[in-house]
Amino acid sequence: MMEKKMINLEQVFQFQMMGIFVSISNDGNIILIGAPYATVGNNESQGKAYIFQKNGTIWNQSQILIANDGEISNDGNILLIGAPHATVENNSQQGKAYIYQKNGNEWNQSQILIANDGEENDDFGYSVSLSGNYAIIGAPGIIFLHLFKF
């Protein structure tokens, strides 16, 4: 395996832990990079996900999504992004996961996934993975994985 290209993540991202979660489409044209400690508005450590798209030999940031961990489908048309620090009703850090679908050059949120048995500090969405129409979501606060079909 040979390194083909290095993407410079500016120093502004240093304290956001940008790059701790990454995913790439099978064709190598879309990269999803998580920044779990990014501040969103007044919410510290809410997290963001950055989408980079390849245009020839140049990588351009095409969109920023609010959440942190992420996985991209093999065909590059579906994103699954975890938000383990999200509050659900009154449960702090219960966590959520978001499914986005590509529509042209834009990514639109199509579903929000929440654990039926979720509780405070579950961190649901800490790790995520996609395979076909299945999403698997980790919640280390309860040491369980959740499997969804969409």
Q: Please write the tens of the pLDDT for every residue from 2-45.
A: 555 656 555 455 566 677 778 888 888 998 888 877 777 776 66
CATH of the domain at 98: 2.130.10.10
Q: Does residue 9 lie in a domain region?
A: no
Q: Please write the tens of the pLDDT for every residue from 47-64.
A: 788 888 998 988 888 888
Q: Does residue 88 lie in a domain region?
A: yes
Q: Tell which residue, 79, 68, 85, 67, has the closest CA to residue 31.
A: 79
Q: Residues 85, 123: contact at Cβ < 8 Å? A: yes
pTM of the complete model: 0.74
Q: Does residue 2 lie in a domain region?
A: no
Q: How many domains does the chain have?
A: 1
H helices of 34-148, where? none
Structural domain boundaries enclosing 66? 15-149
Q: Please write the tens of the pLDDT for every residue from 98-117.
A: 999 999 989 999 999 999 88
Q: Does residue 102 lie in a domain region?
A: yes
Q: How many helices (H) and strands (E) does the chain have?
A: 0, 11
Q: How far apart are the C-alpha atoms of 124 and 149, rounded to whole Å?
A: 16
Q: Does residue 1 lie in a domain region?
A: no
Q: Does residue 6 lie in a domain region?
A: no
Q: Does residue 4 lie in a domain region?
A: no
Q: Does residue 24 lie in a domain region?
A: yes
